[in-house]
Amino acid sequence: MSADATLDQLRRQAVDPDRRILITGATIVTMDPGLGVLPQGDLLIQGSTIAAVAPDLSAHGAADGAVIIEATGSILAPGFVDTHRHAWEAQLRRIMPDVNDLGEYVMSTLAGIAPAYQPQDMYVGTRLAALTAIDSGITTMLDFSHNSRSAAHSDRAIDAMADTGIRGVHASMRPHFGDWDGQWPDDLNRLQDRYFSSDDQLLTLRLATLATDEIAGPDLAYGPKLAHVARELGIGVSVDAVFGLPSSQAILRWSAEGLLGPDVTLIHSTGLTADAWRAIGDTGTTVALAPTSEAQIGLETAVPAVDEALAVGVRPGLSIDVEVALASDIFTQMRALHAIQRMRAVNAAYGSGAAPSRIGVADVLDFATLQGAKTVGLGDVTGSLTPGKQADLLIVEAEDINNMPLNDPIGTLVLGSDPRNIEAVFIAGRARKWAGAVLDVDLAALRQEVRESRDRVLRTAGH
């Protein structure tokens, strides 16, 4: 059957809650420790969930009433998880590619341009970021939405993720600088009631905040007040700008106050003290690294804190951070982290006779999938091809010119592949990318909308 005919079938049964899709013949990288890698196998989707994974499902009636996708020569893998992206900035992509430090980014983007954003600009940027995420194999994206100048700004950011069909986490924070309505964090109650009242949906809610008061004052610094807000709502917390000695002292304080735990994510975590890392490990607090952000922008030590996290038993998630200066995809994050950590390990052992302690491709793929899902509070929902989890998955062409021949599937995913090799993306069992193209997107209209938003924002900001 042709790709177009299969897509027609997928579209016709997309609204059926009992729809069945059988993907056959693929090399399956499950990222489930109990299932491992299947050199050739089948995966059955029923409704929005993974019903079965096995070397051969044909004897079990899996094909009965199912749309069959022949995937021989492909790798089937979990969708990637982006644990932290400031999605509203997508119109400003690579506007400052050689940013010198965090202060330059803060003053240019957060102080200079962010106040010019209207609610519709939030929609345009967030939608563009989410569509790009889907195109590059990211099925779950945490939007650290720190330009919520009004309730309408938050609403439009959430609408944008909903309209793309991505599994989205809206992490809400007020802006650092400029005029705003003063609605945060109280507006989280309204957001939860309006958008997040069900546990059975693609979108979830978190509170976003900063580690200390150095950048934007005490009201944004995580502590008992904001922790109470999150716990009253039953939502997780994502803490950005976790750097150096001030954040280390804050972490020890949060630990003593009982404010850390698996529902709290610390973003970046560069330059922390050994005592702070022990507190993170002891409390089961999660960590989100942004490998290219740490290294390229030069955040504190400029070294992604993967060794420090692993030393205390924390397996981190990965993230994009700011597209104003950085790449938009998880492939880049995996490769950057893989190379940087191995460089550090060999360099530290050089001349000593000691064996370098190096991570491998399986580690960074784990960080990009299963650990990322745990980091954003969705470890039971997505991140691995485990029966019972949501069918968030990728079909990656392993016989394309840049991947052939398939020798090691995990190595191929991490070191060989890029968004052009992603043939299909499914989120909750629905096709969102097919035959190499994101579905239901008018590219000409999107380009015009993005350019008009960018031009208006920059003009208003005086650029």
**CATH code for position 44:** 2.30.40.10
Q: In which residue are the tokens 């106050």 written?
A: 257
Structure tokens at 398: 């392993």
Q: What's the pTM value of the predicted model, to 2 decimals?
A: 0.97
- Report the distance separating Cα 159 and Cα 452, nearest Å: 19
DSSP H or E segment with residue 451: helix 443-460
- Report if residue 460 sits inside a domain: no
Q: In which residue are the tokens 């740490």 written?
A: 294
338 lies in the same domain as 246: yes
84 lies in the same domain as 66: no
Per-residue pLDDT, 5? 87
* Residue among 6, 47, 36 nearest 24 (CA): 6
- Report if residue 114 sits inside a domain: yes
294 lies in the same domain as 210: yes
pLDDT tens for each residue of the chain, 463 residues long: 688 888 888 888 878 888 899 999 999 999 999 999 999 999 999 999 999 999 999 877 877 888 999 999 999 999 999 999 999 999 999 999 999 999 999 999 999 999 999 999 999 999 999 999 999 999 999 999 999 999 999 999 999 999 999 999 999 999 999 999 999 999 999 999 999 988 779 999 999 999 998 877 889 999 999 999 999 999 999 999 999 999 999 999 999 999 999 999 999 999 999 999 999 999 999 999 999 999 999 999 999 999 999 999 999 999 999 999 999 999 999 999 999 999 999 999 999 989 999 999 999 999 999 999 999 999 999 999 999 999 999 999 999 999 999 999 999 999 999 999 999 999 999 999 999 999 999 999 999 999 999 999 999 999 8
Can you give the residue range of the structural domain that contains 257? 80-375
197 lies in the same domain as 344: yes
- Report if residue 335 sits inside a domain: yes
- Report the distance separating Cα 119 and Cα 238, nearest Å: 23
Per-residue pLDDT, 133? 98
Structure tokens at 144: 């650290």
- Report if residue 278 sits inside a domain: yes
Q: 3-class SS at 392?
A: coil
223 lies in the same domain as 311: yes
Per-residue pLDDT, 1? 62
- Report if residue 102 sits inside a domain: yes
- Report if residue 455 sits inside a domain: no
305 lies in the same domain as 240: yes
- Report if residue 462 sits inside a domain: no
* CA end-to-end distance (rounded Å), the chain: 52
37 lies in the same domain as 129: no
DSSP H or E segment with residue 283: helix 274-283
What are the two backbone dihedrals, phi and then psi, of residue 30, each rounded to the nearest 5 degrees? -80, -30
94 lies in the same domain as 236: yes
165 lies in the same domain as 224: yes
106 lies in the same domain as 64: no
Where residue 160 sits, what CATH number does that domain have? 3.20.20.140
Q: pLDDT tens digits for 36-73? A: 999 999 999 999 999 999 999 987 787 788 899 999 99
CA-CA-CA-CA torsion for 37, 38, 42, 43, nearest 10 degrees? -10
- Report if residue 360 sits inside a domain: yes
107 lies in the same domain as 7: no
Residues in the chain: 463
247 lies in the same domain as 390: no
Q: pLDDT tens digits for 412-440? A: 999 999 999 999 999 999 999 999 999 99
The total number of structural domains in the chain stands at 2
Q: 3-class SS at 116?
A: helix
